[in-house]
Amino acid sequence: MKIGIVGTGLVGSSAAYAIALLGTASEIVLVDHAPKLARAQAEDIAHAMPFAAPVVVRAGGYGDLAGAGVVILAAGVNQQPGETRLQLLDRNAEVFRAIVGEVLAVAPEAILVVATNPVDLMTYAAQKLSGLPPARVIGSGTILDTARFRSLIGSHLGIAPQSVHAYVVGEHGDSEVALWSGARAGTIPVADFARQVGADLGPEARERISNAVRDAAYTIIEGKGATHYGIGAGLARIVRAIAQDEQVVLSLSAVTPDVGGQAEVAISLPRVVGRGGILRTLRPGMDASEEAALARSAGLIADMAGRMAL
């Protein structure tokens, strides 16, 4: 499958590198408003391919996206230290107004994968600007938050994160909701597993893990200015699910009806993903506090989306 990436900064180039190393795509085309940057990133990644997979990686213009099955939208301005994702809204919405039409003019059948922050709002913007069905406009959402959640739980319990089954839903940001009530280690509720291995997983431990998941981006941004490796791998995972029609469950953002009392909101929930994009949306079991937190998160996103001039 041919993959396009618009925006070749840290996130876009990290996604391209991860996709190329996995050998998921037959061709990756990088597009950027700075052609020299796109060319440099493409050449650098292409020079790694003799050590990995036979993937063609090249720079181009919007016309070179013709025939792409997936186009990742990673264009936008970077989140600054101390800046929330929601504060990025106005600046990045303007960027999307310029690029979505250009992409669909040459790749009308492509699935759009949105990486630009604030990702839920930018997913909403991309869906409204494109007019595509919500199933074909996918935000990376909480895919990385879920990975962080599983990693931290696994570390606490002394097991591999691949053995942890837990999700973060809601906003990719401060109002996200870690679903402790449904978290499992193997087939066992994490609280039961913790008791069996003698690991404390009481309220304080849970709060510490939840806070670490929520604040991870701020910690990384403070230390090095941006997050990109984790989300690059997350984007590669989404692309693989589509390209290989995996029908795998991932926590992703999409415009969704009736979440937390909101008629239409771009928010992360577990989604079944395959060749057609989002094949179905799952409604996870939640306790009362998680239901209330998800409703608050949906309300926050919907309020901000309502202020967008699209």
Token pair belonging to 2: 């041919």
The two beta strands, 70-73 and 2-6, are parallel
Q: Supply 156's token pair.
A: 């606490």
Neighbours of 13 (CB within 10 A): 24
Catalytic site residue from 156, 165, 172, 228: 172
3-state secondary structure 151-204: HHHHHHHCCCHHHEECCEEECCCCCCEECCCCCEECCEEHHHHHHHHCCCCCHH
d(CA 239, CA 309): 30
| Cα gap 255→266, rounded to integer Å | 4
What's the CA gap between 177 and 186, in Å, rounded? 21
Both structure tokens of 289: 């506090």
Q: Which residue has the tokens 């990384």?
A: 220
Asked if residue 309 lies in contact with residue 125, where contact means CB atoms within 8 angstroms, the answer is no
Long-range contacts of 163-169 (CB under 8 A, 24+ apart): 164/190, 166/190, 167/142, 167/251, 167/270, 167/284, 168/142, 168/213, 168/251, 168/268, 169/142, 169/251, 169/267, 169/268, 169/269, 169/270, 169/284, 169/294, 169/297
* Residue 172 known to be catalytic: yes
Positions marked catalytic: 172
